[in-house]
Amino acid sequence: MIKAVFFDIDGTLVGFSTHRIPESAKEAIGQLKAKGIKVFIATGRHWKVINNLDGLEFDGYVTLNGTCCYAGKDRLVYKKAIPAEDVRRLAVIEAGAGAFPCIVVRESDMFINCLNAETDEVFRLLNFPVPPVRDFREALEAEVFQLIGFFREAQEQEVMAQLPGCEATRWNPLFTDIVPRGGSKRVGMEKLLGYFGISRAECMAFGDGGNDIPMLEYAGIGVAMGNAGEEVKATADYVAPPVDEDGIARTLRHFGLVD
């Protein structure tokens, strides 16, 4: 029996064209909650820039791809920072000719070292607030839980080779999320399920991006959205219609979780 459902945000709960949760998904989530089924967010976003849930409240939040996890809005259940030595190595890269735009995400804030046409495109796509621009060296002053590097896949191997304590999880050709090695939405799910006393077999997860793959593989039922890439669909137990075609509600109805 399903007791918990995890939802990615961008491309899963929220369409890229509307930046809104479909009304059908809102109604379905309401039905889940009414039945006592826990509902969770699992996102790469920092909690400060989760700005597109239309006031819906969830039982917990896996943020920053699993590196900061909360029960309710503010009870920190788990966190894992990027090794300080890796942040120092990246500061050297950012001070040289190989510099690229990078968002530094800390527990309570975030900033970016510079902007360009590609960062502007991504912020428009995601309806994402533009972080303040600061010197990258400020990343050395406090724990960092995620880095968002604006470089393409061809450059990824070169950059990541210099960050041995990290791994990259990409869901867009223009940037990649950099998290501590061993960090993922799967880890965040595991921590929240443990906190609430729910087994992995009793949970369902919805996602559409490469960073959702570990979550979909771990869940009792992993659901890829119809707008997901083929690699994501291949790891899922079920492929839903796209987000903007009522994919969430139709899939929950298919599994008998809502009316």
The string of pLDDT tens digits covering residues 127-157 is 888 999 999 999 999 999 999 999 998 899 9
pLDDT at 23: 97
pLDDT at 48: 85
pLDDT at 98: 87
Q: How far is CA 122 from CA 45, 101, 176, in A?
A: 13, 12, 11
Rounded Cα–Cα distance for residues 138 and 240 (Å) = 42
* Phi and psi based region of residue 253 (left: phi greater than 0; alpha: psi -120 to 50; beta: remaining): alpha
Q: Which residues contact 50 (CB under 8 A, 6 or more apart)?
A: 9, 41, 43, 61, 63
Rounded Cα–Cα distance for residues 88 and 171 (Å) = 25
pLDDT at 73: 87
pLDDT at 92: 95
Query: Which residues in the chain land under pLDDT 70?
Result: none
pLDDT at 217: 97
pLDDT at 149: 96
Rounded Cα–Cα distance for residues 253 and 218 (Å) = 22
Do 211 and 185 form a contact (C-beta atoms < 8 A)? yes
**Placement of tokens 């590097």 in the chain:** 149
Q: Starting at the earlier edge strand, list the strands of the sheet with 238-239.
A: 75-79, 68-71, 60-63, 38-42, 4-7, 203-207, 221-224, 238-239
Name residue 12's beta-bridge partners. Answer: none
pLDDT at 34: 97
The residue length of the chain stands at 259
Residues marked as catalytic: 8
Q: Which residues contact 74 (CB under 8 A, 6 or more apart)?
A: none
pLDDT at 119: 96
User: In which element (H, E) is residue 213 found?
Assistant: helix 213-218
